[in-house]
Amino acid sequence: MDARLNYFASPTAGKIFKHIMSAGKVLKDSPLPAATQELVALRVSQINGCAVCIDMHTKEAAAAGETSVRLHLVAAWREATVFTEAERAALELAEDGTRVADAAGGVSDEVWAYAAKHYDEEQLTALVVLVSIMNMTNRLNVIAQQPAGDYEPGQFH
């Protein structure tokens, strides 16, 4: 499978991605736990069907010590017992923030309150920005049909 666009060869994409990568670095350095960041990035990518990001975030999480059991259960996190309450709150917020078109009103007050119970304002800010950036990057990859499977941990960091 060949991608429709070669983002790496595009001067415009290069300029844009420079800023996206800078934002990603700020998120990595934020007070939102790294494991939560990878789980959320993975779940958003699963919902959006972004194979490139699923490949990337699964491998990054595994390289950082995440267990295969938890990675395999992200897609069915509601029924899984391996996630903390805080992680569950983040995953629920990520799902609602990704599926805004499916629910009138977007993220409910209940989902927000559950997340706010586990994360402070700085962590919530990072979580919301992470969900937003992941949705954007998922769309960039899905629209251009970027092939997946070759990602190496640390490749874009």
Express each pLDDT in 130-147 by its tens digit.
999 999 999 999 999 999
Exposure on the CB side of residue 73, measured as CA atoms within 13 A: 15
Backbone angles phi, psi at 88, to 5 degrees: -65, -40
Q: Could you tell me which residues come within 8 angstroms of residue 53 by beta carbon, excluding any fewer than 6 positions away?
A: 41, 42, 44, 45, 134, 137, 138, 141
Rounded Cα distance between 57 and 60, Å, is 5
Q: What is the pLDDT of residues 49-106, one digit of tens each?
A: 999 999 999 999 999 999 999 999 999 999 999 999 999 999 999 999 999 988 777 8
Q: What average pLDDT does the structure give for the chain?
A: 95
CB 11 within 8 A of CB 150: no
Banded pLDDT at 44 (limits 50, 70, 90): very high
pTM score, whole prediction: 0.94
